[in-house]
Amino acid sequence: MNDVKHLVISKIKDGTVIDHITPGLAILVLKILGIKPKSSEAVSMAMNVESAKMGKKDIVKVEGKYIGDQELNKIALIAPEATINLIQNYEIIRKFNVKPPEVVENIIKCPNPNCISNSNEPIKSRFRIFLDESRVKAVCDYCGRKLINLEDYI
Ligand code: CTP
Ligand code: ZN
C-alpha cells in the first residue's frame, strides 16, 4: 500500500526490487542473493505487509545489484508469485514474473542419504519441478524422493 499515509519502503535509484514474495520468506530471498552479515549492499526489506493481490507479502530491494538466472530460479522455487523489477535511475526498465524451471541442477541437495547423487560419484543433483495446488514441489531424478517444502532445501 503506497499512498500519502503509507509508504512501505523508499524507492531505489538503481538495482532490483523483488516484490510479491510469499509472506515470511524475504529472509530466505536475502540468503539466496548472498546477502550476509557484513555485506556492503544497501538493502531494504519488508515482511508481512499488506498486499491487494496476496493479502500479505514480503518485499526485498537491493541497491546496485542485478540478479542472475541461478538466483532467479531459486527464488521461483520458494516464491513462485514473485515479481522482479529492474530499476535504473528510479525508472522500472524491466518487470517480469519469476517462473519455476522444469528441471533444476545443483540447486537442491537430495535428503535421501542412499541417493546416488550423495555418493562420491561426480553427479550433479537434479530435480524435476512441478506445481501441486499452487505449491512448488520437486522430485529427485535419481531416487524419486519427493520434496514439498522446498524452502527447507535451498
Ligand atoms: N520501486 C522502487 N524503486 C523505484 C521504482 C519502483 O523501489 N525507483 C518499487 C515499488 O515500490 C514497488 C515495485 O518497485 O514495490 C514495483 O513498482 P510499480 O510497478 O510502480 O508498482 P505496482 O504497480 O504496485 O507494481 P505491480 O503491478 O507489480 O504490483
Ligand atoms: Zn535423490
Binding-site positions read 110, 115, 140, 143
Chain CA centroid to CA 134, Å = 16
Which ranges in 57-118 belong to alpha helices (H)? Answer: 69-78
For the stretch 73-100, pLDDT in tens is 999 999 999 999 999 999 999 999 999 9
Mean pLDDT score across all residues of the chain: 92
Residue 41 parent element (H or E): none
Give the residue numbers of the binding site for Zn(2+): 110, 115, 140, 143
H-state helical runs in the chain: 26-32, 69-78
Going by CA atoms, what residue is nearest to atom 25 of ligand 1? 19
What CATH number labels 15-97?
A: 3.30.70.140
With contact defined as beta carbons under 8 Å apart, do 12 and 18 qualify?
Answer: no
> Class assignment of domain 103-147?
mainly beta
Q: In what order do the strands lie in the sheet with 126-132?
A: 103-105, 126-132, 135-140, 146-147
Strands 91-97 and 146-147: unpaired
Better-predicted residue by pLDDT, 71 or 133: 71
Nearest CA to ligand 1 atom 20: 92
Using one digit for the tens of pLDDT, what is the confidence trace for 114-147? 999 999 889 999 999 999 887 899 999 999 999 9
pTM: 0.90
Q: Domain boundaries in the chain?
A: 15-97, 103-147
**ipTM (interface predicted TM):** 0.95
